[in-house]
A and B are shown apart, each in its own frame.
Chain A
């Protein structure tokens, strides 16, 4: 019965899937959002922080209402060695201005709020169902299959996350490649709000985002992170699979050692572990983006590889929101035209091209490769920074040396030409 048929079935209630459901339902479309976990967010994890700009556009002032953790007004970047930590600390009110603000967030909490928004808008949400496969007829996706039962729809949106087995089944992408993904492991450590504010030097409801290069990822491609939540700290490491398997330290050990680093341990002292989580992060940028449009089907969010890690900033959720918005626009047009062909749905790609999603991915397309082929960022430079600081600040009665000579001694360990080359290539890839 065509009247009872869903306009769209969306697989996966992460941010991309839920925002798409919200937008389509708001336009009066019959939309079903299917989630394999018991609630939206139950399988989702972030470092993490959400940049608000794209969701702000869709839900103005959402930050006043949503269960966000803290507004990030302090950015810290560190180079860490076993015995030291050299940090750049940036506090600015500019970080908190509406539309360029960002928030620490816990997805198990936040996604449920977003789900309620989609439900209010009229989306039908079914949790606890794993979609096993898609109905494909004459090269067109016509619905979903779960537990042997079929459910038809005019369109299916795949929002099933970084490890999109459904996009793989459709032949839109091959298996993920180890150099395109990183594994993230995180502890959520409970501490009283007042203690967090004292230790991280932040005001009520404000907080810190802090990224680390060096020993947290055992000197390999990746890094450590800390985000302050309201009543907890999110602390963890991210490590690129292809590189981590060349080493000898396990991911759980990386997290443990990072936590016990003398510069970190006092910050979480007395804290209570309330969750340990793990997830894959798509970090290949433009080069890992699969086919995202087919007959009757669109791919959004992490499933489409929409994520950027710039070392000093990691973005995925704002891309998820914007890609969902582009997909929703395409679906609304397709339903109006009653045309679900790949040719028509290509407008999704055009909307993405016009948005920051593809502009940013194009702009930063060489950066993931730069990180991969410049291992010095993760061991040599943290060491150099640490040794320079030691020469400046450690006083032991030794006769003085000219500052330039002292500093160049450390630069020369890497090689002045290597430093210049890395700086040139790094800046060019940004």
Chain B
């Protein structure tokens, strides 16, 4: 397996982040780890992460708006999933 720096890749992309309003929100409290693991595998932007202590982290800022997490966990560990409001979010220059 080769080493991967997904943040570096996302750094190439053009984002207009909606600082005031998260378009995806994880549920509060105890998160079902099995469900979270699905998103760690499936999110193409690698936005669902575990730290060394096993703490869960999610940041909507690098979201590619594919909807994978909504399809897999929209009814389990996500509180909210919507598209960013107009003009905001990812902007594909090449696509």
Query: Does A pair with B?
Result: yes
Interface residues in A238-254 (C-beta closer than 8 Å to B): 239, 241, 244-245, 247-253
Interface residues in B1-51 (C-beta closer than 8 Å to A): 1-4, 6, 9-10, 12-13, 37-38, 40-46
The docked-state distance in angstroms from the alpha carbon of A282 to that of B53 is: 37
Please determine whether A128 and B70 come into contact, CB atoms closer than 8 angstroms. Answer: no
Q: B70-95: contact bitstring with A at CB < 8 Å (1 yes, 0 no)?
A: 11101100000011111101111111
The docked-state distance in angstroms from the alpha carbon of A280 to that of B64 is: 10
- B85, chain A: closest CB distance, angstroms: 5
Q: Which residues of A contact B83 (CB under 8 A)?
A: 36, 130, 165
Cβ contact of B72, chosen from A165, A245, A247, A249, cutoff 8 A: A245
Q: Which residues of A contact B13 (CB under 8 A)?
A: 275-277
Tally B residues with Cβ within 8 Å of A: 41
Please determine whether A257 and B1 come into contact, CB atoms closer than 8 angstroms. Answer: yes
Assuming the contacts A36-B86, A279-B64, asked whether A273 and B12 have C-beta atoms less than 8 A apart, the reply is yes
Please determine whether A278 and B45 come into contact, CB atoms closer than 8 angstroms. Answer: yes
Q: Does B56 contact A (CB under 8 A)?
A: no
Cβ contact of B41, chosen from A45, A249, A255, cutoff 8 A: A249
Please determine whether B68 and A252 come into contact, CB atoms closer than 8 angstroms. Answer: no
The docked-state distance in angstroms from the alpha carbon of A414 to that of B49 is: 38
Please determine whether B71 and A280 come into contact, CB atoms closer than 8 angstroms. Answer: yes
The docked-state distance in angstroms from the alpha carbon of A41 to that of B43 is: 21
Please determine whether B72 and A277 come into contact, CB atoms closer than 8 angstroms. Answer: no
Please determine whether A252 and B91 come into contact, CB atoms closer than 8 angstroms. Answer: no
Please determine whether B75 and A43 come into contact, CB atoms closer than 8 angstroms. Answer: no
Q: Does A309 contact B (CB under 8 A)?
A: no
- A15, chain B: closest CB distance, angstroms: 11
Q: A31-50: contact bitstring with B at CB < 8 Å (1 yes, 0 no)?
A: 00000111001111110000
Cβ contact of A277, chosen from B3, B4, B87, B92, cutoff 8 A: B92
Please determine whether B94 and A275 come into contact, CB atoms closer than 8 angstroms. Answer: yes
Q: Does A109 contact B (CB under 8 A)?
A: yes
**Which segment, of A150-158, A181-189, A347-355, faces chain B?**
A181-189
For B91, the closest partner residue in chain A by CB is A42
Q: Which residues of B contact A185 (CB under 8 A)?
A: 44
Q: Which residues of A contact B46 (CB under 8 A)?
A: 250, 252
Q: Does A23 contact B (CB under 8 A)?
A: no
Assuming the contacts A38-B87, A42-B91, A277-B92, asked whether A178 and B72 have C-beta atoms less than 8 A apart, the reply is yes
Interface residues in A317-334 (C-beta closer than 8 Å to B): none
6 closest cross-chain pairs (CB), A and B: A278-B44, A107-B95, A108-B95, A163-B67, A278-B64, A185-B44
